[in-house]
Structure 1
Amino acid sequence: MDKPETISAQQLGVLFFTFMTGSSIINIPAPLIGKADNGALLSLLISGAMGMALLGCMLYLHARFPAMSFVEYSRKLIGVWPTIIISLLPLSFMMHMLTAIVLDIGLFMRSSMLRETPIYAFTSLIYMVSALTVRAGLEVMARMFTIIMVLVVLFVSAVLLLAVENYNPGFLVPIMPEGIQPVLNGAFFTFGFPYAEVFLFAMLFHFVRKQSNKQANSGLNRHMFLSLLMNILTLCISTACTIMLFGPLAGIKKYSLYELARTVEVQEIITRIESVIGMSLIAGSYMKTTITLFVLCLYVTHLFKLKDYRTIVMPITLIAFLNTLVGFESDMQWVEIVSIVHPVWDTFAFAVPLLLITVIAAFRKRTN
């Protein structure tokens, strides 16, 4: 199996916030506003509450099986072959996630910065760096990503604050101009990305350094829920700022924070700072790619009882890179996949298996 690595509950909380916020802070606002209009904030609160429920299920299972990953306690609860069967959707969707995150970087760079450069020039570099980071291990990722995420949050916060003179709070009302249906549509979209993706951390809880079981569980629960609350707050703030700046046009700005940064001018001294948002998107997506690749390799390792996840990092990365080259025919097709197929696939791949295993674990506890 994988080499014994341990991190603190606080480090895992930072990784969780990094994973949930890294790319979503830039990718979520525009499409969400396009679906929910001014009800986008309500959509985030609804989907965030659903993410909290999934996180609660994961922490319950971890408390029952503190030394096991999702695959290991699933095997214990339902057997080997049922675990393999219910793992088909999570594995396929994690590969899709890997492709989607990296491809989004390529599409952003081609549409916003380097229009004549082929996408594979960006995706190949991201895959290579992410694979090398995964091979370095979870402890290295926890230390490095803490620094990078602090910088990303500072950059984004600075851009939002510098644009404050351009905000018009009147654009935030009415809250639900077309009723509840757009709000629910937005909640469905944001549940698929990013809140159902909390499932991946069910594979990482057992890496948390143990002191006493009660103390460890309490600290882990606190850090995980706090990280998710901070993520919801961060997305709400970035979405509200987008609405206040662009008003009715907010939903058609593909990379809304990038466009927001282009409006910032301070005495002709601070101008053209959209590159800071571009770097933040690349850094956030790189971190999310690395965590997803790590969990995917770990999932396969535990499912088939391999000796070390590092042996399959490069083959899986190569498969993901090839999938990036042939997985879509046009930008519009990719937008349709992410907006419509992604949330449905995500729900059945992550939420359904997690809820199923939680119910079985609770039932077994009552009958034992």
Structure 2
Amino acid sequence: MNEQETVSPRQMGVLFFAYMTGSSIINIPAPLIGKAENGAWLSILMSGGIGMGLLACILYLYRKYPHMSYVDYSRKLIGVWPTAILSVLPLPYMIHMLTGIVLDIGLFMRSSMMRETPVYAFSFPVLLLSALTVRAGIEVMARMFALILLLVIFFIGSVLLFVATDYNPAYLIPVMPDGIKPVLNGAFFTYGFPYAECFLFVMLLPFVRENSTGEVKRSMNAALILNIFTLCISTVCTIMIFGPLAGVKKYSLYEIARTIEVQEIISRIESVIGMSLISGSYMKTTITLYGVSLFVSQLCKLNDHRTIVMPLALIVFLYTLVGFESAQQWVDIISIVHPIWGSVAYVFPLILITVIALFKRKSGGSYR
């Protein structure tokens, strides 16, 4: 890596947690419960286990090539042209991811708060702010996101605590009323979003300070475990509040916040969930845009990835205008196409490169 910026292992763990949890904690519970019913938390555990396996591959490659990104060690392992051909798979998916994250903000705001406002009125400022943050650098991102993440967790945690007296644990039983199939369907959905997406950190890990491989492993694993726990808690709480209707509420945590009223002093605090969604999606947009700009710049052998940040943001903005016809079409894409596309674009190349690295190690290949 030619970049001079570095972050600590703990800061990288914060970025990873923000990336995995930022928008998913708001967007996952309702559709997941609609698919897996009371066993939604089991679906998260299943897909989270797959995510742990993918993270193990990422950390293995980082341990072997601590100063190289995915593009760098792919060229080392399989050559320049095979790397270029293999990179055809992840790049369109990264653009698709960016589009989806930004669209989530616009669709949420238009469906719940500002119904007459067009989606582009939200997607443009978010992309512009994310692009400016990317240009500021990963050190700025790590410091800023730590504070934003604390506020997001505080707001969501406060909402879940305020409604604690309304929880009905009986709604959690039976765990699998229709068998294992709905749970597997839910696991397929959450595997695609967010766990297959952890691939992006193959581009960011080289920014961790030197001689901290062990600390990186602990921080990244802790962040992923905390993410799984957080999604499970938010999903279980949603079921205990709404019961059979939990899968119908589109933005379940937002709907939970609307029910809060404490002695006519605290009420109508759903706006904090709206701010949490925007903040979480902004963090994930920024991290994804940073990874995409690195990916493209290294493939094209550019000296500075910041030169293409604004063009990439413009491409994503234009795609948000023409990439979908309706909100339901976008939901279908995320539920069905997204996990399959993620497997082909992210999981397959990652496992392939990991297997090649293992094979070369066993055959006595050199890493230096």
Q: How does the TM-score come out when normalised to structure 1?
A: 0.98
Matched residue, 1:14: 14
Matched residue, 1:165: 165
Inter-partner Cα distance in structure 1 for 2:270 and 2:8: 35
Deviations 1:256-293 (A, max 9, x none): 00001001111111000000000000000000000000
Inter-partner Cα distance in structure 2 for 1:341 and 1:87: 19
1:315 aligned to which of 281, 292, 311: 311
Tell me which amino acid in the other structure corresponds to 1:87: S
Inter-partner Cα distance in structure 2 for 1:168 and 1:254: 20
Matched residue, 2:270: 274
Deviations 1:219-247 (A, max 9, x none): 00000000000000000000000000000
Q: How far is the alpha carbon of 1:4 from its aligned partner?
A: 1.5
Inter-partner Cα distance in structure 1 for 2:89 and 2:63: 25
**1:119 aligned onto 2:143:** no
Q: Is the 8 A contact 1:2 1:309 kept in 2?
A: no
Deviations 1:51-80 (A, max 9, x none): 000000010011111110011001110011
Inter-partner Cα distance in structure 1 for 2:68 and 2:266: 51
Aligned-residue RMSD, C-alpha: 0.8
**1:362 aligned onto 2:355:** no
Q: How far is the alpha carbon of 1:3 from its aligned partner?
A: 3.1
Inter-partner Cα distance in structure 1 for 2:310 and 2:26: 29
Q: How far is the alpha carbon of 1:2 from its aligned partner?
A: 5.3
Q: Give matches, 1:215-364, under 5 Å.
A: 216-364=212-360
Tell me which amino acid in the other structure corresponds to 1:140: V
Matched residue, 1:194: 194
**% same residue:** 67
Matched residue, 1:106: 106
**1:76 aligned onto 2:76:** yes
Q: How does the TM-score come out when normalised to structure 2?
A: 0.98
Inter-partner Cα distance in structure 1 for 2:96 and 2:347: 16
Matched residue, 1:41: 41
Tell me which amino acid in the other structure corresponds to 1:151: L
Tell me which amino acid in the other structure corresponds to 1:308: D
Structure 1, unaligned stretches of length 5 or more? none
Inter-partner Cα distance in structure 1 for 2:83 and 2:186: 32
Q: How far is the alpha carbon of 1:218 from its aligned partner?
A: 0.9
User: How many residue pairs are counted as aligned between the two chains?
Assistant: 364
Q: Is the 8 A contact 1:2 1:308 kept in 2?
A: no
Tell me which amino acid in the other structure corresponds to 2:283: M
